[in-house]
Amino acid sequence: MKIIHLYSPNYSRKKRSINSIKFIIIHYTGIQSERESIKRLCNPRSKVSSHYLINQKGEIFNLIKDLGVAWHAGKSRWGKYKNLNENSIGIELVNKGHAFGYKKFKKKQILSLIKLSKILVKKYKIKKKYILGHSDIAPLRKIDPGEKFPWKYLASKKLGIWHQYNNVVLKKNRKINILSKKNKKYFFKNLNKIGYCVSGGNKSFLIKTIKAFQRHFRKELINGLLDQECFMIAQDLSKKV
């Protein structure tokens, strides 16, 4: 696989061990152009970076070595892990994002992401449950890579987890609010089991967390409200982690 090497100075000088790499975190760049994205990720004043960037033609750029700690995740949490820069490889996909005209990801871009991820998974023994989006680990601040990201397709390539239900079954349960207090509690327990941080949050925190879950696993309706469909999906996923 062809990888174009660039250099970004935006990484922690302390190296990490191979064993500390547990996650792949997927982002979109969320700015106007590819050129601007690369400039920003390599500019010491921006204080942000990622290990890889994949443009819309599917070309892969490496900005920081895998054993360097890049600055892409920020304040974040997943399961017992906090501030995931230390434990992750960050991959940026060029896409203008919600602020500048969010578009479908290009096929070539996704195919390159799959190729690259497969290599990383093998090299660092990354579990499929630890292939996540930025919004999953930082739901209060982030919405990338967003609902147009093809999580289901990636899961079909053993990258990430997915549920067992088909669309017809799910649609019948959409917007159906038959959740008792007990079931609501059970839903959050499952969300927590999957890895989302749900403890100690106020109402707006929980709504944003539900939205992050929906962006990833139920993109047809992102409203931050709990329904029977979300309940079923979370229950099924909790058995796969």
Site size for Zn ion, by CB under 5 A?
3
| 77, 128, 134, 163: which one binds Zn ion (CB under 5 A) | 134
216 binds Zn ion (CB under 5 A): no
139 vs 234, which CB is nearer to Zn ion? 139
Applying the rule CB under 5 A, the residues between 14 and 33 that interact with Zn ion are 27
Please state the closest distance from residue 186 (CB atom) to Zn ion, in A.
30
51 binds Zn ion (CB under 5 A): no
The string of DSSP letters for 13-71 reads: SS---GGG--EEEEEE--SS-HHHHHHHHH-TTT----SEEE-TT--EEE-S-TTSEES
Assess whether 34 carries a catalytic annotation: no
25 vs 230, which CB is nearer to Zn ion? 25
d(CA 163, CA 237): 6
113 vs 233, which CB is nearer to Zn ion? 113
Please state the closest distance from residue 166 (CB atom) to Zn ion, in A.
31
d(CA 238, CA 175): 21
Pick the catalytic residue: 36, 59, 86, 92?
92
Give helix then strand counts, H and E, for the chain: 9, 10
Per CB under 5 A, the segment of 50-58, 134-142, 167-175, 218-226 that binds Zn ion is: 134-142
| 34, 136, 144, 227: which one binds Zn ion (CB under 5 A) | 144
Burial class of residue 180, CB neighbours in 10 A (0-12, 13-18, 19+): exposed
d(CA 71, CA 170): 37
CB atoms within 10 A of CB 149: 24
d(CA 87, CA 124): 11
134 vs 215, which CB is nearer to Zn ion? 134
Which residues participate in catalysis according to the annotation? 92
Which residues would be at the binding site for Zn ion (CB under 5 A)?
A: 27, 134, 144
